[in-house]
Amino acid sequence: MLSEPVELLKTLIALPSVNPMGGEADPEICFETRVTEFLINWSRQLGIEPIIQEIEEGRSNVVLLWENPHQPNSEVILLDAHQDTVPVAGMTIEPFKPVVQDAKMFGRGACDVKGGLAAMMSAFARIVQKAPPDAPSVMLSCTIDEEATTMGINALTNWLSTGDLPCPKPVAAVIAEPTELDIIVTHRGVVRWKIEASGTACHSSTPELGENAIYRMGQVLNRIEKYAESLPTQKPAHPKCGPSTLSVGRIGGGASVNIVPEECWIEVDRRLIPGETAQEAQQAVIDELQSLPFEVIHHQPWLISAPLPDDENEALATSLLKSIDEVAGPHETIGVAFGTHASRTARVGIPSVVFGPGNIAQAHTKDEWIEIRQLQQAAEIYYQFCKSFNVR
């Protein structure tokens, strides 16, 4: 059976698991089914009957649990990587034909995050096969739908928080994402929602008879722009992940140039720093626009992703950093602007960090690749970290 990270990654790249992210879903390449089936078979070859959490037809989390036979009820470490990739339109390489060239492997998902998944699988297989007597138990969760609506991690964290587990609740979580072997200990979150202003339509030759929704939105935008500028002074920036921000990214409205518009909408992207909640952040914008002399409609957010705070994961980061240093030399703990599964596992009380091979700059790109050396180092680091983990 495959347990070497480069061979595992080749296999995973050749199994398309594109998340259509709301776009057209080509059944030949879309969804995680092919990867899921491979993971289930691989797990059984390893002698582990996987826990399968079906989220939608053909879309399942696969959870592999190895309980250390030498230590009943030992602490559990959670390793998590997602099975899906972003779409492949516009790629300049063959997305599903892994190619090794210049000490890199190319293919969709090489960097985000099949490389991390392959490294975790390799480490997990070594732990299972060698069964180090002092090691903690290890749970490897391969989750679906990270790139879109995060259904996989939602189901996993619900399960982890119900207490209906075949083992003790994990005491630490390492989430695979490309970090160049640094450790993300904190990141920003985001809330996105739509705001609407309405008016009264009439013929554009008699605009005085109508109420122009676009002019109204102009007033909304003036207020929001000032509010966004004032955000950094209202709240000190987080030392590792920067300030709270707000950006209006889209606008639409009106039916025709000869009609006074009845409606106008915008879409807001508000980045959250640790300590902020999506609800408070949205409410602050609602309050800011309250005194306008017309109705402003705020839709329910369509995306909420919590920030990852760095107040519970220091011991975990220190322990992981030691394994990284031993294998790959000095690295550091960092904060980033993008979100990950770690904020979800942290919210159910599991200290969590993000660590993996590859550079986020190569994620989602038209010629996605990963450095083979980093892939192999990450596999070794996950193994060493699991084997020697001890936060007591």
The residues that touch Zn ion, with contacts defined as CB under 5 A, are: 112-113, 177
- 217 and 266 in contact (C-beta within 8 Å)? yes
**CB of residue 142 to Zn ion, shortest distance in Å:** 12
Give the nearer residue to Zn ion in terms of CB position, either 107 or 253: 107
DSSP for 209-276 reads GSB-HHHHHHHHHHHHHHHHHHHHHHSPPBTTTB--EEEEEEEEE-S-TTEE-SEEEEEEEEEE-TT-
310 φ/ψ angles, rounded to the nearest 5 degrees:
-110, 30
Q: What is the largest CA-CA distance in the chain?
A: 84
Give the nearer residue to Zn ion in terms of CB position, either 199 or 339: 339
**CB of residue 146 to Zn ion, shortest distance in Å:** 5
Give the nearer residue to Zn ion in terms of CB position, either 19 or 377: 19
**CB of residue 144 to Zn ion, shortest distance in Å:** 12
- 366 and 90 in contact (C-beta within 8 Å)? yes
Question: What secondary structure, in 3-state letters, does 18-58 show?
Answer: ECCCCCCCCCCCECCHHHHHHHHHHHHHCCCCCEEEEEECC
Give the nearer residue to Zn ion in terms of CB position, either 20 or 210: 20
**CB of residue 123 to Zn ion, shortest distance in Å:** 18
Give the nearer residue to Zn ion in terms of CB position, either 113 or 306: 113
Give the nearer residue to Zn ion in terms of CB position, either 211 or 367: 367
Beta partners for residue 335, in sequence order = 186
Give the nearer residue to Zn ion in terms of CB position, either 177 or 276: 177
Tokens 């915008």 appear where?
A: 266
β-strands 59-66, 172-175: how paired? unpaired
**CB of residue 113 to Zn ion, shortest distance in Å:** 4
If we measure between CA atoms, which residue out of 52, 48, 41, 36 comes closest to residue 137?
A: 48
**CB of residue 337 to Zn ion, shortest distance in Å:** 14
Tokens of 206: 């008699």
**CB of residue 25 to Zn ion, shortest distance in Å:** 19
